[in-house]
Amino acid sequence: MRNVLITGANTGIGLATAEALAERGDRIWLANRSAEKTRAVVLELARRYPKARIEGLSLDLADLASVRACAARFEAAHEPLHVLIANAGLAGQRGATKQGFELAFGTNHLGHFLLTQGLLPALLRANGARVVVVASRAHYRAKSLDLTALRQPTATYTGIAEYGVSKLANVLFAKELARRFEGKGISTYALHPGVVRSDIWRRIPWPIRALATWHMITNEEGAKTSLHCANEPGLDGKSGLYWDKCEERMPSELAQRRDLAEELWTRSEEWTRE
């Protein structure tokens, strides 16, 4: 039985991903901010998929202390972690994280960066783990990665530009994680799930949201690429690649820059250090 940890798994494509993995009979750890919603999902999945084991974890990616506590709780079980799916995310929200980072960057990238660091011992114990990072085509719209701007609240009215930067950070992180752990038993994949009709868009202003949601796909369709990267045999030799509709795609030019990936990794280490 594999151990699979999914962030943001009480709704949207995270929940659809969890359902598909529960049907396989995996042991699934649902890491979410809302304990009440998580309990309800744990009970429902356990009822529907009795062969699976469903656990709940408390996780607020916008608070690094919460991220550390989540990783520590999983590590306390002394279990291997076979698959980590960094799925949780937000878009169209303005503000800052508890530690003062731009909200989308701090939640979508920095929280997942620290969570992955805390779970590295468990991933290495699996001796063939996969880290699946749910990014977005929005990373193509990011024109730069201004690291100084990431230490302050959201600057734009819609937060869409900051969302694109956070997704660029996701792709860079996956690429650098793959490079650093090549040959060490951890494979990493970044992906675009499709434009999914999920809760991530709920805070975007209405006119933009109406346009954005016009041709959206279902959560089940959106989960397919995450499931492909988590389950498909023979992908170990394709670590660090970017996926879209279950196929390899070329990410943006910025996302291919090793110097940028290394700089982001170094800064992320500094920013998440206690």
Per-residue tokens: 223: 């989960």
Give DSSP secondary structure letters for 220-241: HHHTHHHHHHHH-TT-GGGTT-
Per-domain boundaries in the chain = 3-272
For residue 209, the model assigns a pLDDT of 55
> Mean pLDDT lowest for which of 154-158, 213-217, 236-240?
213-217
Q: What is the mean pLDDT of residues 135-141?
A: 97
**% of the chain beyond a pLDDT of 70:** 93
For residue 204, the model assigns a pLDDT of 56
Q: What is the mean pLDDT of residues 46-67?
A: 98
For residue 217, the model assigns a pLDDT of 85
Q: How many angstroms separate the Cα of 253 from the Cα of each of 139, 146, 220?
A: 10, 16, 30
Q: What's the pTM?
A: 0.93
- Residue 130: other Cβ atoms inside 10 A: 24
Q: What are the tens digits of pLDDT across the range 156-209? A: 988 999 999 999 999 999 999 999 999 999 999 999 998 875 555 555 565 655
* Superfamily grouping for domain 3-272: NAD(P)-binding Rossmann-like Domain (3.40.50.720)
For residue 237, the model assigns a pLDDT of 86
Instruction: Report the C-alpha gap between 6 and 52 in whole angstroms.
Output: 15
Q: What are the tens digits of pLDDT across the range 116-128? A: 999 999 999 999 9
Q: Could you list the active site residues?
A: 163
Q: Which residue has the higher pLDDT, 237 or 23?
A: 23
- Of 53, 62, 59, nearest to 37 by C-alpha is 59
For residue 210, the model assigns a pLDDT of 56
Q: What is the mean pLDDT of residues 76-80?
A: 96
Q: What are the tens digits of pLDDT across the range 248-267? A: 999 999 999 999 999 999 99
Instruction: Report the C-alpha gap between 160 and 208 in whole angstroms.
Output: 10
* Residue 199 contacts residue 11 (beta carbons within 8 Å): yes
For residue 235, the model assigns a pLDDT of 94
Give DSSP secondary structure letters for 147-181: GGGGGS---SSS-HHHHHHHHHHHHHHHHHHHHHT
